[in-house]
């Protein structure tokens, strides 16, 4: 079975401070991992993906994520939060042609 | 703008009715995926079509069906609607056959009253 756990349902950070959104996965396979962002009343947008190449993946808008096999984690980070980062973020695992979504983390940016 | 279009944007209908949601993929994409997003169930994969053929099935109810036409647009048909079917329905597309990076449409919000 495959599962994705987003450890925080809600994260609040001040503008200009670092962002950390945590994701752990469980899979019998070596999964591909993705982070998607969903702004209010919008569809999901791909931020970045890991597909067994470099473990540190850079995405759009200054986000990056590091795949750590030993910790089965794929946490999303950004050095400095911007107001436009306020959104819902989904960690997604793809293994053996099965796509599993995390429950999402709502990121709030405090001015 | 992802290049994926969905119509209608909003749909309000009564229980027991049938509706059709439409999706046009990005130019050049052969795969179309349908998802349901609701407060209690989160985001769930429903079904995938690749170049007109059903490719993968997720948590799709028997009351729901989909198809992909020769011009690659897709329709999701929802019948015998129940209150619990109220949700945001997303379509996504990708160039590849297997699950890969997908581009999502803006969604159709379905309200069943």
Tokens of A89: 């973020």
pLDDT at A39 over 80: yes
pLDDT at B82 over 80: yes
Of B56, B101, B104, the CB nearest to A97: B56
Asked if A90 and B43 touch (Cβ cutoff 8 Å), the reply is yes
CB contact under 8 A, B104 and A49: no
pLDDT of residue B73: 97
CA-CA distance, B47 to B55, in Å (whole number)?
Answer: 8
pLDDT at B86 over 90: yes
* Strand ranges (E), chain B: 5-7, 10-13, 19-24, 31-38, 42-50, 53-57, 64-68, 74-78, 87-94, 103-104, 108-112
Query: In degrees to the nearest 10, what's the CA dihedral of B105, B45, A44, A97?
Result: -110
User: B58 falls in which pLDDT band (50, 70, 90)?
Assistant: confident
pLDDT of residue A60: 93
Tokens of A24: 């752990």
Evaluate the omega torsion of the peptide bond into residue A91 and state whether it is cis, within 30 degrees of 0.
no
> Which residue has better confidence, B33 or B42?
B33
Of A45, A97, A104, the CB nearest to B98: A97
Asked if A11 and A77 touch (Cβ cutoff 8 Å), the reply is no
pLDDT at A89 over 80: yes
Distance from CA of A51 to the nearest CA of B (A): 10
Mutate to test the interface with A, among B43, B54, B87, B102 (most CBs of A within 10 A): B43
pLDDT at A96 over 80: no
Tokens of A22: 């945590």
CB contact under 8 A, A101 and B105: no
pLDDT at A14 over 90: yes
Asked if A106 and B108 touch (Cβ cutoff 8 Å), the reply is no
> Which residue has better confidence, B84 or A52?
B84
User: A64 falls in which pLDDT band (50, 70, 90)?
Assistant: very high
CB contact under 8 A, B42 and A45: no
pLDDT of residue A30: 79
pLDDT of residue B75: 98
């Amino acid at each position: 079975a495959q599962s994705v756990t987003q450890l925080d349902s809600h994260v609040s950070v001040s503008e200009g401070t670092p962002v950390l959104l945590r994701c752990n996965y469980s899979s019998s396979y070596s999964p591909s991992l993705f982070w998607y962002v969903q702004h209010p009343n919008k569809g999901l947008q791909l931020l970045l993906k890991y597909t067994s190449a470099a473990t540190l993946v850079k995405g759009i808008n200054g986000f990056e994520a590091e795949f750590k096999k030993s910790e089965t984690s794929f946490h999303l980070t950004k050095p400095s939060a911007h107001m436009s980062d306020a959104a819902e973020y989904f960690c997604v695992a793809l293994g053996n042609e099965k796509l599993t979504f995390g429950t999402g983390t709502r990121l709030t940016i405090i001015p | 703008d992802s290049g994926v279009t969905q119509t209608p944007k909003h749909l309000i209908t009564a229980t027991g009715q049938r509706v059709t949601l439409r999706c046009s993929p990005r130019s050049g994409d052969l795969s179309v995926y349908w998802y349901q997003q609701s407060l209690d169930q989160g985001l769930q994969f429903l079904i995938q079509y690749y170049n007109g053929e059903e490719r993968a099935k997720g948590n799709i109810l028997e009351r729901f069906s989909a198809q992909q036409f020769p011009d690659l647009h897709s329709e999701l048909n929802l019948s015998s609607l129940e209150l619990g079917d109220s949700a945001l329905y997303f379509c996504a597309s990708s160039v590849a056959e297997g699950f890969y990076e997908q581009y999502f449409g803006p969604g159709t919000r379905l309200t069943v009253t």
